[in-house]
């Protein structure tokens, strides 16, 4: 029940923020969008061992998949094998993949601020529904 109280309160606060103060939400977005640390520099120092571990994981999941052939085990060992080989033999491609995946394709902050009235109303209605559900369940 405490979780539902928390969700309803957070939904209400953010719904009101979307409606009343989009500038504060923009400031919060810039604070929370900052990177805490860059993982690429850390993983490239240990790229050999990471590659070996990924290949071992790929072999283990492949062996497990032989006994129980399901699609997600096949996908898992193929991804682990691909990244293990990339870490061992083509680290330059990993850097390129990292730069390509870090590119901003769609700014969700701008999209949310553009639809702030709709999102705010939906969040407030959701919080009212949650508060009503709490009230009904307490009777």
Q: Which two tokens stand for residue 101?
A: 């995946």
Q: Is the pLDDT of residue 34 over 80?
A: no
Ordered by start, the domain boundaries in the chain are 2-138
Residues 11, 101: Cα–Cα separation, whole Å: 31
For the segment 108-128, the average pLDDT, to the nearest whole number, is 91
* The pLDDT of residue 111: 84
* pLDDT tens digits along 69-78: 888 999 999 9
- Percent of the chain topping pLDDT 70: 96
Q: Which has the higher per-residue pLDDT, 122 or 104? A: 122
Q: How confident is the model at residue 124 (pLDDT cuts 50, 70, 90)?
A: very high
CA distances for 47 relative to 31, 42, 95, 125, angstroms: 31, 9, 12, 49
């Amino acid at each position: 029940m405490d979780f539902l109280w928390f969700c309803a309160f957070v939904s209400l606060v953010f719904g009101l923020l979307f409606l009343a103060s989009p500038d504060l939400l923009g400031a919060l977005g810039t604070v929370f969008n900052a990177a805490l640390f860059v993982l690429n520099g850390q993983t490239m120092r240990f790229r050999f061992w990471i590659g070996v571990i990924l290949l071992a994981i790929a072999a283990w999941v492949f062996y497990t998949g032989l006994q129980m052939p399901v699609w997600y085990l096949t996908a898992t060992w193929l991804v682990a094998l691909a990244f293990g080989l990339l870490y061992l033999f083509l680290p330059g491609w990993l850097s390129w993949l990292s730069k390509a995946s870090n590119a901003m394709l769609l700014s969700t902050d701008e999209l949310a601020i553009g639809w702030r009235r709709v999102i705010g109303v939906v969040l407030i209605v959701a919080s009212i529904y949650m508060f009503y559900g709490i009230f009904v369940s307490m009777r």
